[in-house]
Structure 1
Amino acid sequence: MEQPVTATADGADSILEVRVRLPECDPEIWRLLELAGSLSLGQVHEVLQAAFGWEDAHLHRFTANDPFARLHPVDGEIVEPPQWLPAAWCEEPTDLPEEDCSLDQLFAAGSGGAFYEYDFGDSWLHRLELVSRRPADGDSPPARLIDGARRGPLEDSGGFPGYEEIMDALADRSHPGHAEHSAWVAGIIGPDTPFDPAFLDIPAINRALAKQF
């Protein structure tokens, strides 16, 4: 685990209460986390992987604003906004190393929120919203899941439309794709593991986070 980047401007670390949601999922999938503001974005990536049950099998990036929002020209020129990636992936002038940016700095760069995209093919876009801030103390872990709803989508399930189709098929035995999608899910999570999209194991996630720090 890499070391945290910097604390806040006055040198004191803060604990940020951050709500992270997959806004296109219905019902909505979300997490409420307490995170040290000094965590690097590389560390935040690892936290989000654990919190949503991802397997870190694809590319990812952070942006201070919606990466899919329409860009408006400035002085007649379209300026691409910066994005934070692992240093090894930085190739363009707007690519910045995620290892050198803290969560505090990411929120400061935007307008009260930020975005994390995982798997550029399925494009799982997470919106990060800063709910509150308090001074850190000796008992504050760097990352803790407070609350949330529903398990994260399965890897390689086709993004929001694909995952919704899978959920519809699993819920309806008369669905023409029920058997096919049931077999696919069993192959992903194991044939003896029950799949409940509404279940979120908060204690298990916090045990995983405790091992990371």
Structure 2
Amino acid sequence: MPRQIFQLKMSLASIRPPVWRRVLVPAGYTLDRLHRVVQHAMGWRDCHLHSFEIDAVQYGEPDPDGELGLHDELDARLDAVLGKGSRFSYTYDFGDWWEHDLVVEDALTVDPEERYPVCLAGERACPPEGIGGPLGYRALLVAMDDQAAPADLADPRLALLRDWAGASFDPSRFDPDRATTLLRRFC
């Protein structure tokens, strides 16, 4: 049987305007490798814990104390737990609680001329690490909005958010070619 590639769409939940990516990954990848794909495609720095939820089963790095009750992501191949049309979630940073909605949009045959994984498309930059989750990110977008009310821009908390994100942060920017380079280098 020819090897399969899954076309996945990943989107940050509770974020408007949407932050999303569309990637092609080998169906034989484990969830551990998919974790790295999500990290590099989205733009995270892999500084925090994470987990997947597929059909009400939690996967991640096993907790040595057994308190989290996670199945080992190294033991779960994508093609064993997912198929075309599957919907599942990935949570990153249990403090800021970044939820990602993922869907297997298609199952394709490997193109022998292509290298995988590859990022096909996406929109908007990933929020900065440690910004405070979706609520903190919304506040950052207000702080960066040129159309914000002067009273909002004078709020010292918003100035701190702008400083935290850095002058080079552009929430509208995303480069799928750069994401592909990172995916191929680290996944």
CA distance 1:184–1:85, change in 2 (3 Å)? same
1:210 counterpart SS class = helix
Segment of structure 1 superposing worse, 83-92 or 129-138: 83-92
TM-score (norm 1): 0.77
Q: Which runs of 5+ in 2 are unaligned?
A: none
Q: Match for 1:28: what amino acid?
A: P
CA distance 1:93–1:206, change in 2 (3 Å)? closer
1:181 counterpart SS class = helix
Equivalent pairs counted in the alignment come to 181
CA distance 1:89–1:49, change in 2 (3 Å)? farther
Mapped pair 1:85 → 2:60: yes
Cα distance, 1:182 vs. partner? 1.8
Cα distance, 1:212 vs. partner? 2.2
Q: Distance in 2 between matches of 1:97 and 1:159?
A: 26
Q: Match for 1:124: what amino acid?
A: W
- In the alignment, which of 172, 179, 201 is matched to residue 159 of structure 2? 179
CA distance 1:93–1:22, change in 2 (3 Å)? closer
TM-score (norm 2): 0.87
Residue-by-residue CA offset, 1:88-146 (whole Å, 9 max, x unaligned): 557259421101111222325x9721111000111111111111111113223231100
Cα distance, 1:25 vs. partner? 0.2
Moved over 6 A (4+): none
Q: Distance in 2 between matches of 1:23 and 1:93?
A: 22
Mapped pair 1:147 → 2:127: no
| Identity between Structure 1 and Structure 2 (%) | 27
Native 8 Å contact 1:18 1:131 kept in 2: yes
Q: Distance in 2 between matches of 1:42 and 1:203?
A: 23
CA distance 1:111–1:204, change in 2 (3 Å)? closer
